[in-house]
Amino acid sequence: MRSAFSGKIVQLVAALLVLLVNFVTSQDPDIVKTCTSYKKSVWEETSEFSFLIENAPIIYKTLDKCTSYAPLIIGGGPALPKEFPHAARLGHREDDGEIEWFCGGTLISNLHVLTAAHCLYSPQGSVNIVRLGDLEFDTSTDDADPEDFTVKDFTLHPGYSHPAIYNDIAVVRLSKTVTFNEYKHPACLPFDDGRSVPSFIAIGWGQLEIVPRTENKKLQKVKLYNYNTRCRFTADKNDELPEGYNATTQLCIGSNEHKDTCNGDSGGPVLIYHKDYPCMYHVMGITSVGVACDTPDLPAMYTRVHFYLDWIKQQLAKT
Ligand SMILES: *[C@@H]1O[C@H](CO)[C@@H](O)[C@H](O)[C@H]1NC(C)=O
């Protein structure tokens, strides 16, 4: 009886150790380090204290201002000021200065915006402008710090082949670096593939291709749930998905309710909170096409960012 019990304990401890090792080894140390430095760049302030005595040691004190803006999202609604400082909007500016915004994106460094590859194939023209730091479009009375950046270049994943939405991922490089503040700040790349994450936050200005006229002026957020491999049964094979759902490269996410914000902009992020820094997020997915708006319990497919980490790192390292 007793040895059977302790045998169980040993088994349990061994299982936990395996879990722990798997968890630790799956994290990319560069990405963990970069994430921490991003957090410190805006939310930590180091101040110096010195006593007015000769040769007294200088004391440094770190003030951590990293608090969560909105830890609980029930349903969805408008985003709060500074809540999603990595939210980007991508558009095309005509020669006459008129801008059409048609996709979302995520700031992931001081120069790079992650988006969907299909966004760079827009009928509105190529992406040549990125707006950062905005909350409500077409108003200057909101608590925001909008700034437009021109685009230096962009790279589509080589495996993307229109109209199929596999490898629907691209990196846009801005012409000048972003100065980080509480309104413009990158999201971290994923520490894991998101398989065991129960829920996500999708954000966007709600401009989906399937409902082009119901554009939202305000950034919206919505809570969505992980449907794991359910998309194998719900996703029909079609031109966009000739091989059906691919669980290695795609997330399957949905909602059991009618979400009036739809699922955000295509190209925009699907996020989770950072485990230790409540002011930070990980971009786990990219909103792809074929996202149904009004159908409860019909999950949609998003690009699984974690699968593309090596490719993303190559793009970030390019000079
Ligand atoms: C899913 O995508 C990966 C990467 O492109 C590929 O190697 C794999 O064969 C795909 N799986 C299926 C079932 O199509």
Does the domain at residues 85-185+310-316 carry the CATH identifier 2.40.10.10? Answer: yes
Average pLDDT of span 208-215: 44
pLDDT at position 102 is 87
pLDDT at position 1 is 45
Nearest ligand 1 atom, CA 167: 5
Does residue 266 have an active-site annotation? yes
Mean pLDDT estimate for the chain = 85
Average pLDDT of span 201-210: 68
More confident residue, 47 or 183: 183
DSSP assignment of 220-239, as one string?
Answer: EEEEEEE-GGGHHHHPPP-S
Q: Burial-class residue 138 by CB neighbours within 10 Å (0-12, 13-18, 19+).
A: exposed
**Annotated catalytic residue, options 92, 118, 157, 306:** 118
- Tell me how far the alpha carbon of residue 252 is from its chain's centroid: 15
> From the CA of 246, how far away is ligand 1's center (Å)?
6
User: Of the candidates 290, 218, 230, which has an alpha carbon nearest to the alpha carbon of residue 261?
Assistant: 218
Kindly compute the dihedral angle of the four CA atoms of residues 266, 76, 106, 96, in this order, to the nearest 10 degrees.
Answer: 60
> From the CA of 229, how far away is ligand 1's center (Å)?
14
Top mean pLDDT of 20-24, 63-67, 169-173, 292-296 is at 169-173
Q: How confident is the model at residue 204 (pLDDT cuts 50, 70, 90)?
A: confident
With a pLDDT cut of 70, the percent of the chain lying above it is 82
DSSP assignment of 22-37, as one string?
Answer: HHHHHS-HHHHHHHHH
> From the CA of 248, how far away is ligand 1's center (Å)?
7
pLDDT at position 245 is 93
User: Which amino acid residue places its CA nearest to atom 12 of ligand 1?
Assistant: 246
Q: Where are the domains of the chain?
A: 85-185+310-316, 199-306
Q: Is 90 exceeded by the pLDDT of residue 180? A: yes
Could you tell me the two tokens for 273?
């909170």
Alpha-carbon dihedral sign for residues 112, 284, 245, 293 = negative
CA atoms of 64 and 309, how far apart (whole Å): 29
**How do residues 112-171 score in pLDDT, each as one tens digit?**
999 999 998 777 789 999 999 999 888 888 999 999 999 999 999 999 998 899 999 999
* From the candidate CATH numbers 2.40.10.10, 3.30.465.10, 3.30.870.10, 3.40.190.10, the one assigned to the domain spanning 199-306: 2.40.10.10
Which residues does 7 contact at the CB level (< 8 Å), separation at least 6?
A: none
Nearest ligand 1 atom, CA 243: 14
pLDDT at position 169 is 98
**Range of lowest pLDDT (6-10, 47-51, 82-86, 242-246):** 6-10
CA atoms of 52 and 265, how far apart (whole Å): 56
